[in-house]
A and B are shown apart, each in its own frame.
Chain A
């Protein structure tokens, strides 16, 4: 079993839709949970990170972590064509440990 599981999609939605992206993880030692966005032929860029369980909102993006079920979610409201990218969830045990990524979900937002 991979440490972080993520449905690779692809996922295609109309502009303005609410997008829900999800990951599960297996190791309860993970403490930090990140969502990265990766455009084609670019490196990943950090969208949001959360520590422990709970919600975190940043503009149209909301990250949610449920440590009891080992479930990570990213919600995108009012999706835009510019949101079309691959979204990677990632986890960390502690500050300077390696990132453990999911496979990534390829999202297309159609105008």
Chain B
């Protein structure tokens, strides 16, 4: 069973540029959540995709957008990069069924984005 993978591992961009980060979910999972982890902080929820639809969003501006594909992989796009966007971006996949029972979220290794 393949775990959650993310690409690229590292990325350096300049202010104002746009970036796309990619996540392949674990086999059998239908939900992907994206988190931003600034240095010395815990991960902060950006948004979640369930069956290709956005299913919840944290306190992030619209220049953070995403997609989920039919194979449940996902992209995170950030436009007009700012210095404060420098962080580790984590995706987590899980399987969400019809009930509200706990579904473990499995994290990928993250993409470290540096904005200069």
CB-CB under 8 A from A99, the residues of chain B are 33, 35, 43, 45, 92, 105
Cα-based distance from A88 to B37 in the complex (angstroms):
12
- From B13-21, B73-81, B107-115, give the one contacting chain A: B107-115
CB-CB under 8 A from A101, the residues of chain B are 35, 42-44
A41, A95, A104 interface centre (most CB from chain B within 10 Å) = A95
Cα-based distance from A103 to B38 in the complex (angstroms):
10
Cα-based distance from A90 to B109 in the complex (angstroms):
18
Is the beta-carbon distance between A96 and B96 smaller than 8 angstroms? yes
- From A44-52, A54-62, A76-84, give the one contacting chain B: A44-52
CB-CB under 8 A from A88, the residues of chain B are 42-43
Report the minimum CB–CB distance from A4 to chain B (whole Å): 8
Cα-based distance from A95 to B100 in the complex (angstroms):
4
Is the beta-carbon distance between A102 and B45 smaller than 8 angstroms? no
Report the minimum CB–CB distance from B46 to chain A (whole Å): 9
Cα-based distance from A43 to B97 in the complex (angstroms):
24
Which secondary structure dominates where chain B touches chain A?
loop
Asked whether A92 and B102 contact (CB < 8 A) given A45-B107, A98-B48, A98-B58, the answer is yes
CB-CB under 8 A from B71, the residues of chain A are none
B2 beta carbon closer than 8 Å to chain A: no
A32 beta carbon closer than 8 Å to chain B: yes
Cα-based distance from A102 to B40 in the complex (angstroms):
11
Report the minimum CB–CB distance from B78 to chain A (whole Å): 18
B residues contacting A by CB (< 8 A) are 4, 31, 33, 35, 40-45, 48, 50, 55-56, 58, 90, 92, 94, 96-97, 99-110, 112
A residues contacting B by CB (< 8 A) are 4, 6, 8, 32, 36, 41-46, 49, 51, 88, 90, 92, 94-104
| 13 contacting pairs across A/B (C-beta < 8 A) | A4-B42, A43-B90, A44-B107, A46-B104, A88-B42, A90-B42, A95-B103, A96-B48, A96-B96, A97-B56, A98-B33, A99-B43, A104-B42
